[in-house]
Amino acid sequence: MTPPKILISSLSKRYGATSREVLALEAVDLSVSEGEFVTIVGPSGCGKSTLLYILGGFLKGTGTVAIDGRAVDRPGLDRGIVFQEYALFPWLTVKDNIGYGLQTQNIARSEREDIVHRYIELIGLRGFEQRFPRELSGGMKQRVALARTLACEPEILLLDEPFGALDAQTREIMQDELLRLWRKTRKTVLMVTHDVTEAVYLSTRVCVMSQRPGRIVREFSIDLDRSASREEIVLSAAFERARNEVWILVRAQVVSGTGVATAT
């Protein structure tokens, strides 16, 4: 049997000194197959981003984290990451940001230019090649960040609340672009968000995480026809039902954390 694309088993993560340490994650198990779009939702501060950072190789936890059966110990080009705060290099132009990962791999200049050009077209930013990140809107920045990551053709996309800083309209547009991209490339995606609607709209599977220390409380398979339009999907009974189920469970996690439920 081939190992799953991503395997996380009994993963825990502690922060801080031993005397006053904080347990961020506790015994998390998660397995993602190739081509799945899995989203983790949970209250803020539950450790869902930490999980993503460990998978990215930026932080270390205790337990098993493996890609294709190989343990993760450092960042790698097989995993592309997009952060909520865009993380574009402010001193590089749009073109050079997108070409950054290609340059570190010593891809020849002409080939690099071709790839960058293709991604600029894909994200609809032609004419903005020489702009610096500070001259772009939030939506444009996040498009560039996505293009920069995709240009390296990672097998796995890790998305850390990628649309969290965008206004509601731009967020919907970006979600649709991401969905279109995923349908075309069928990359394995692991996303983290606190937006239940976004999670259900985009993912094939939604995992709900508890308050800190984060554990995965329950997984929901989402079976929707993604070829339909946004309106059709969002207005369908299946979407409504899935969204409500996830929302009630996420809300229960938030409420249990604040002590509201135990007060009565």
Partner 1 sequence: MTVSNRLRTALSFSGPFVIFAALWQAASAWLAPDPTMFPGLGAIAYALVRLSASPELWSNLGISLARNYLGLALAIVAGVSLGSCMARYPIANGFFSPLVGATYSLPKTALIPLLLLWLGVGSTTDTTAVFLSCLLPIVVHSYHGAKDTPRVLLWSAAALGTPDRALLPRVMLPSSLPQIVTGTRIALGFSYVVTIAAEMIASKSGIGKLIFVYGGSGAYDYLFATILVIIVVAYLVDQAYVRLTATLLRWHHWE
| Min separation Cβ 52 and partner 1, Å | 11
Asked if 162 interacts with partner 1 (CB under 8 A), we say no
Q: What's the rounded Cα separation, in Å, for the pair 234 and 4?
A: 30
Write the DSSP string, the chain: -PPPSEEEEEEEEEES-STT-EEEEEEEEEEE-TT-EEEEE--TTSSHHHHHHHHHTSS--EEEEEETTEEP-S--TTEEEEETT----TTS-HHHHHHHHHHHTT--HHHHHHHHHHHHHHTT-TT-TT--GGGS-HHHHHHHHHHHHHTT--SEEEEESTTTTS-HHHHHHHHHHHHHHHHHH--EEEEEES-HHHHHHH-SEEEEEPSSSB-EEEEEE----TTS-HHHHHHSHHHHHHHHHHHHHHHHHHHHHHTHHHH-
Angle formed at CA 66 by CA 104 and CA 178, multiple of 5 degrees: 60
Asked if 157 interacts with partner 1 (CB under 8 A), we say no
Asked if 128 interacts with partner 1 (CB under 8 A), we say no
Asked if 89 interacts with partner 1 (CB under 8 A), we say yes
Asked if 101 interacts with partner 1 (CB under 8 A), we say yes
| Min separation Cβ 80 and partner 1, Å | 7
Interface segment toward partner 1; rule CB under 8 A; list 31-39, 100-108, 188-196, 218-226: 100-108
| Min separation Cβ 229 and partner 1, Å | 33
Asked if 90 interacts with partner 1 (CB under 8 A), we say yes
| Min separation Cβ 129 and partner 1, Å | 14
Size of the site for partner 1 (CB under 8 A): 28
Please name every residue paired with 11 in a beta bridge, in sequence order, or none if there are none: 28
The answer, yes or no, to whether the previous bond of 43 is cis (omega within 30 of 0) is no
Asked if 164 interacts with partner 1 (CB under 8 A), we say no
User: In terms of CB distance, is 69 or 75 closer to partner 1?
Assistant: 75
Enumerate residues 46-75 that contact partner 1 by CB under 8 A: 53, 56-58, 74-75
| Binds partner 1 (CB under 8 A): choice among 33, 64, 104, 185 | 104
| Binds partner 1 (CB under 8 A): choice among 105, 110, 169, 229 | 105
Asked if 79 interacts with partner 1 (CB under 8 A), we say yes
User: In terms of CB distance, is 26 or 129 closer to partner 1?
Assistant: 129
Asked if 165 interacts with partner 1 (CB under 8 A), we say no
- Positions touching partner 1 (CB under 8 A) are 53, 56-58, 74-77, 79-81, 83, 85, 87, 89-92, 100-101, 104-105, 132-134, 148-149, 152
